[in-house]
């Protein structure tokens, strides 16, 4: 039965690991083989609910909004993953869409991202975006960087009041509806705002076939006029 499931197993694994109710160690699940061993009833319930949630997250219809270059944008598309999930799961879903959790590199991009969130038709307090802190960074505010590699110290910053505060291993970032940034726990289920470079347009038309030029035959040398004889 389990070998027929094609859901995002990373999403399932992350959520189950973070929400395990009866303390059962996660090694009781052999995800590679899609098999379930020695599960209690409560664990089975959590697993089934998670499978359904992750399947729903994958099937959600995305409404992409382009930040047009004609209006000062970067030409990228943005969308909201409305089904709440962990930061890691949302990043995996973003990558499956050819993108990543959105990076906010300027006040202008922040304004556009908030407009995308506002147009998504759902209302949550927090939306995961592409900010994270490596585990070896000094708490609470060292090492923060974007999933695309830019360091936060090099650009636009908009932490909310008293954030980041690392209230219990908060190493990933979320943006609030009012634009303030907070650090949060990866395991918390939130919607997310994602970004991707614009889809490649149609390939350019092939060049017209080159006309085959006929090679000119070399002209025969002109006969030299006879030299007049004065003798």
Stretch that binds Ca ion, among 59-67, 117-125, 160-168, 216-224 (CB under 5 A): 160-168
Find the binding residues for Ca ion in span 4-43 (CB under 5 A): none
Q: Does 183 bind Ca ion (CB under 5 A)?
A: yes
Among 14, 77, 171, 186, binds Ca ion (CB under 5 A): 171
Number of chain residues interacting with Ca ion (CB under 5 A): 8
Burial class (CB in 10 A: 0-12, 13-18, 19+), 86: buried
| Cα 14 from Cα 31, distance rounded (Å) | 11
- The smaller minimum CB distance to Ca ion, of residues 13 and 143, is found at 143
Options 19-27, 44-52, 177-185, 201-209: segment touching Ca ion (CB under 5 A): 177-185
CB within 8 Å of 208: residues ≥ 6 apart: none
65 to 104: interface string for Ca ion, x by CB under 5 A: --------------------------------------x-
Q: In whole angstroms, how close is the CB of 59 to Ca ion at the nearest point?
A: 26
Question: Looking at 170, 175, 190, 192, which residue binds Ca ion (CB under 5 A)?
Answer: 170
Rounded to 5 degrees, what are φ and ψ at 205?
A: -65, 150
- When the beta carbons of 50 and 86 are compared against Ca ion, the nearer one is 86
Closest CA to 86 of 215, 193, 185: 185
Cα 203 → chain centroid? 24
- Parallel, antiparallel, or unpaired: how do β-strands 181-184 and 190-196 relate? unpaired
d(CA 156, CA 144): 12
DSSP code, position 129: E
10 Å CB burial of residue 127 (0-12, 13-18, 19+) is: buried
Site mask, Ca ion, residues 106-135, x = CB under 5 A?
Answer: ---------------------------x--
Binding site for Ca ion (CB under 5 A): 103, 133, 165-166, 170-171, 182-183
């Amino acid at each position: 039965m389990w070998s027929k499931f094609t859901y995002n197993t990373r999403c399932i694994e992350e959520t189950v690991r973070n929400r395990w109710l009866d303390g059962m160690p996660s090694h009781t699940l052999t995800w590679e083989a899609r098999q379930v061993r020695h599960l209690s009833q409560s664990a089975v319930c959590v697993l089934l609910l998670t499978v359904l949630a992750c399947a729903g997250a994958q099937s959600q219809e995305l409404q992409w909004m382009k930040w047009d270059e004609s209006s000062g944008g970067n030409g990228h598309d943005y969308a909201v993953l409305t089904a709440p999930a962990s930061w890691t799961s949302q990043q995996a879903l973003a990558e499956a869409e050819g993108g990543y959790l959105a990076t906010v590199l300027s006040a202008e991009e922040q304004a556009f991202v908030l407009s995308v969130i506002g147009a998504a038709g759902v209302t949550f307090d927090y939306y995961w975006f592409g900010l994270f802190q490596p585990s070896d960074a000094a708490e609470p505010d060292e090492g923060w960087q974007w999933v695309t590699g830019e360091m936060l110290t090099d650009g636009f910053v908009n932490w909310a009041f008293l954030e980041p505060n690392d209230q219990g291993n908060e190493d990933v970032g979320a943006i609030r509806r009012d634009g303030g940034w907070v650090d949060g726990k990866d395991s918390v289920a939130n919607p997310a705002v994602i970004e991707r470079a614009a889809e490649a347009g149609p390939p350019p038309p092939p060049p017209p076939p080159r006309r085959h030029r006929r090679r000119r035959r070399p002209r025969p040398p002109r006969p030299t006029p006879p030299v007049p004889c004065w003798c």
